[in-house]
Structure 1
Amino acid sequence: MTTTTAEPSVFEVLESEVRSYCRGWPAVFDRAEGSRMYDEDGRVWLDFFAGAGALNYGHNNKVLKRALLDYLERDGVTHGLDMSTTAKRAFLETFRDLVLEPRGLDHKVMFTGPTGANAVEAALKLARKVKGRETVVSFTNAFHGMSLGALAVTGNAFKRAGAGVPLVHSVPMPFDDYFGGTVEDFLWFERLLGDRGSGLGRPAAVIVETVQGEGGVNVARPEWLRGLADLCRRWDMLLIVDDVQMGCGRTGAFFSFEEAGIVPDVVTLAKSISGYGLPMALTLFRPELDVWEPGEHNGTFRGNNPAFVTATAALDTYWADGQTEKQTLARGERVEAALRAIAAEHGDEVAGVRGRGLVWGLEFHDKTHASRVCARAFELGLLIETSGPESEVVKLLPPLTTTPDELDEGLLVLARAVAETA
């Protein structure tokens, strides 16, 4: 009998070995709408990954798409460096009116390069320039990006190893509950700050995620965040909140730090700020920190005007009142209840459930179990991914616009995938 082997695809032949998501999801996707993706053969998947959090309002959101198409049809500026444009003005005015002023924030807006890592690099550079110091404190299991500065404040050993050079001028500290509640908050951090023999010079800043998405959906308590903000004030360190994945309503409120009642000195936003998956990133900071010289930090693609258009439409559509926040919190309760039911049914396998809003994690004792769950879920028509230092957590990031019926559908698939891989 003669057997034939399929020819390698162009992806396998031409694309770099660095590709990753396509390995876990072996399909050729062709179109997407709302919370669903379709491959070229018409098979459909429910998407609970949402572009790693870049698609909070779903795929090809009709309102945002209409605004974008209208703008392109009239030959609106697509590439504008940091020139003043009507699209940028509309975004700035809307962001000020609907996001900053209602929250009592007077932060300046900096358009960086188009990725979250670009926003983080700008934040780190600015903090060092303002304070005249080199060290930035980060936290265990943090993830802030893949460029060198962002990797230096990232905890994951695999990602750090890819740098190929020493990652310097950063010091890690324990994230909330790192010692399981057995150690007083910030005991080690403050002891090092106060000890002239500790080897820790006065840091310029501290950078933190309120929920560590890539690190395993580790949720910082509001009181821990308030304690960190107080520590930064007392020791003259800037507080940077990385809201690249958890901002734009992912945890409920527009900014993930709102629940804690803190006001960071610097905030980074990207992923869902454009609303449509278009590249766009911002670094926000208090006015007194705006010490940049013109052109001191720039980037060719920091003026992505189509992204300004969809970002403005997203703010107008979803953030003119408080309904998006209420809806996200309500749907988050629905997800939590389903995950806790799965945990109760599979107590020997599930190590924990944690999350906020519409970001949730299901941790397994067996470090390989989460990957098996995600693989089986793909076979059953659900896109989910792992997170955590050993990929031991199944992470759920459904679009905020996912309907209750779609949530229930996806959660039933997840429950089946857990049961069938136990």
Structure 2
Amino acid sequence: MSVFETLESEVRSYCRSWPAVFDRAQGSYLHDEDGHTYLDFFAGAGSLNYGHNNPVLKRALIDYIERDGITHGLDMATTAKRAFLESFQNVILRPRDLPYKVMFPGPTGTNAVESALKLARKVKGRESVVSFTNAFHGMSLGSLAVTGNAFKRAGAGIPLVHGTPMPFDNYFDGTVPDFIWFERLLEDQGSGLNKPAAVIVETVQGEGGINVARAEWLRALQDLCHRQDMLLIVDDIQMGCGRTGAFFSFEEAGIVPDIVTLSKSISGYGMPMSLCLFKPELDIWEPGEHNGTFRGNNPAFVTATATLDTYWADDQMEKQTLARGEQVERALLDIVDEMDAIGVGFRGRGLVWGMEFDDKARATAVTRRAFELGLLLETSGPQSEVVKLLPPLTISPEELDEGLRILARSVRETA
């Protein structure tokens, strides 16, 4: 590990939790250079919904590279981009009656968020954007301005402006009616709240601690946005691409956001790619007004197309994810029942779950013990008090059981 410690910046983080040098990966498993095997309940922070080196996607990528397909193309028209756009329209948008235009803003999630914020401000002619407590939207300055975590915000080094936080669903444990404070501020000319251009929200706050918004809360938020002339942006970067069951995490609520951001698993293979989707009437960009050298990652288009055609041409992936989610829920319920005395609870949807401990330091202890036993887990929440489960959607029932047994043992042995 010496070269990493001496040459790489102190900013590195995940490698501190998992002190191994990884060499190979396949499906739900990673292998380090010393021959140890780890079951992956992290999945590239949600970038590997279909597992490591998925053979179908790998074959499509190898074939494309071997025929000298375009690798770098800026926003030029290519056959790979055309194939992706056609599949995305036919497999995802049209069956859901979603009218979105597709923008390639750059290769990362925060690129997508920045473009969404920029477009909303351009459309409405206002600067303010409302976000929510414990939100996470990225590490660039615009995204940080609508992120809640104090540690991450402090890294900006300058004031983060034009973002206003409001309480996320159940922030007051159900004791305060939904949006009463938000709506009162909007209607009171003396509140000091600048009229927002948009509201940005995650349906499940991943980095914020696996906080799940109720469908009725999301519907009420959309209604509020419509009544108050604000755009609704759903950040589906981690929870989209099937993580909660349906392809988009907002489908369960029956809402149609004005703008949607996607990244992480949209390429299917873990390659950088992001999308900003928006209703056609919002497409008021001037050519080149939002630019980027790497917004045309053609190998990612290839694997993304293969992913859509393989996993989303029918409803089997959604059904499988929901079934695996029920398997996780049953196992977590057993752990909570067994460990009731230590104060632990859980929450989640589909294949994203979190276990929260009253003793906030225990979550880190659990993930460390799990690593020793061959399971990769991370923590989330403002004080890293939540153990976060994010396995590949393609994980088998047997692999899922294996990981859940290791989790149960890790909780037991750190009690």
After superposition, what is the alpha-carbon deviation per residue over 1:99-129, rounded to whole angstroms, capped at 9, x for unaligned?
0000000100000110000000000000000
Q: What residue is the counterpart of 1:331 in the other structure?
A: 324
1-side partners of 2:160 and 2:21: how far apart?
Answer: 37
Give, as a single letter, the amino acid of the residue that structure 1 aligns with 2:64.
Y
Which of 245, 252, 255 in structure 1 is aligned with 2:248? Answer: 255
**Is 1:269 paired with 2:243?**
no
Q: What residue is the counterpart of 1:233 in the other structure?
A: 226
Identity among equivalent positions (%) equals: 79
SS in 1 for 2:340: coil
2-side partners of 1:208 and 1:312: how far apart?
Answer: 27
Which of 276, 288, 291 in structure 1 is aligned with 2:281? Answer: 288
2-side partners of 1:405 and 1:33: how far apart?
Answer: 16
**Is 1:363 paired with 2:320?**
no
2-side partners of 1:248 and 1:229: how far apart?
Answer: 21
Matches for 1:116-265 after TM superposition, within 5 Å: 116-265=109-258
Deviation of 1:41 after TM superposition, in Å, equals 1.4
**Is 1:402 paired with 2:400?**
no
Q: Is the 8 A contact 1:50 1:397 kept in 2?
A: yes
Deviation of 1:202 after TM superposition, in Å, equals 1.1
2-side partners of 1:421 and 1:231: how far apart?
Answer: 45
Q: What residue is the counterpart of 1:113 in the other structure?
A: 106
Q: Is the 8 A contact 1:371 1:392 kept in 2?
A: yes
Runs of 4+ residues over 6 Å off in structure 1: none
Give, as a single letter, the amino acid of the residue that structure 1 aligns with 2:364.
S
**Is 1:386 paired with 2:379?**
yes
- Let me know the Cα RMSD of the aligned residues: 0.5
**Is 1:40 paired with 2:33?**
yes
After superposition, what is the alpha-carbon deviation per residue over 1:337-394, rounded to whole angstroms, capped at 9, x for unaligned?
1011101111122432100000000000001000000000000000000000000000
Q: Which ranges of structure 1 fall in alignment gaps of 5 or more residues?
A: 1-7
1-side partners of 2:283 and 2:342: how far apart?
Answer: 50
1-side partners of 2:344 and 2:414: how far apart?
Answer: 15
After superposition, what is the alpha-carbon deviation per residue over 1:186-215, rounded to whole angstroms, capped at 9, x for unaligned?
000000000000001210000000000000
Tell me which moved more, 237-246 or 336-345: 336-345
Which of 339, 346, 350 in structure 2 is aligned with 1:346? Answer: 339
SS in 1 for 2:333: helix
Deviation of 1:95 after TM superposition, in Å, equals 0.1
Q: Is the 8 A contact 1:144 1:154 kept in 2?
A: yes
Which of 358, 365, 369 in structure 2 is aligned with 1:372? Answer: 365
Deviation of 1:397 after TM superposition, in Å, equals 0.2
TM-score (norm 1): 0.98
**Is 1:101 paired with 2:94?**
yes
1-side partners of 2:373 and 2:316: how far apart?
Answer: 32
2-side partners of 1:146 and 1:314: how far apart?
Answer: 27
SS in 2 for 1:288: helix
SS in 2 for 1:32: strand
SS in 1 for 2:199: strand
**Is 1:412 paired with 2:397?**
no
2-side partners of 1:307 and 1:30: how far apart?
Answer: 22
2-side partners of 1:195 and 1:166: how far apart?
Answer: 26
2-side partners of 1:342 and 1:155: how far apart?
Answer: 30
**Is 1:57 paired with 2:50?**
yes
Q: Is the 8 A contact 1:273 1:311 kept in 2?
A: yes
Deviation of 1:42 after TM superposition, in Å, equals 1.3
Q: Is the 8 A contact 1:350 1:362 kept in 2?
A: no
1-side partners of 2:342 and 2:163: how far apart?
Answer: 36
2-side partners of 1:97 and 1:350: how far apart?
Answer: 47
2-side partners of 1:160 and 1:348: how far apart?
Answer: 35
1-side partners of 2:149 and 2:395: how far apart?
Answer: 31
- State the number of aligned residues: 415
Q: Is the 8 A contact 1:80 1:305 kept in 2?
A: yes
After superposition, what is the alpha-carbon deviation per residue over 1:144-175, rounded to whole angstroms, capped at 9, x for unaligned?
00000000000000000000000000100000
Q: Is the 8 A contact 1:110 1:282 kept in 2?
A: yes
Matches for 1:289-328 after TM superposition, within 5 Å: 289-328=282-321
2-side partners of 1:214 and 1:208: how far apart?
Answer: 13
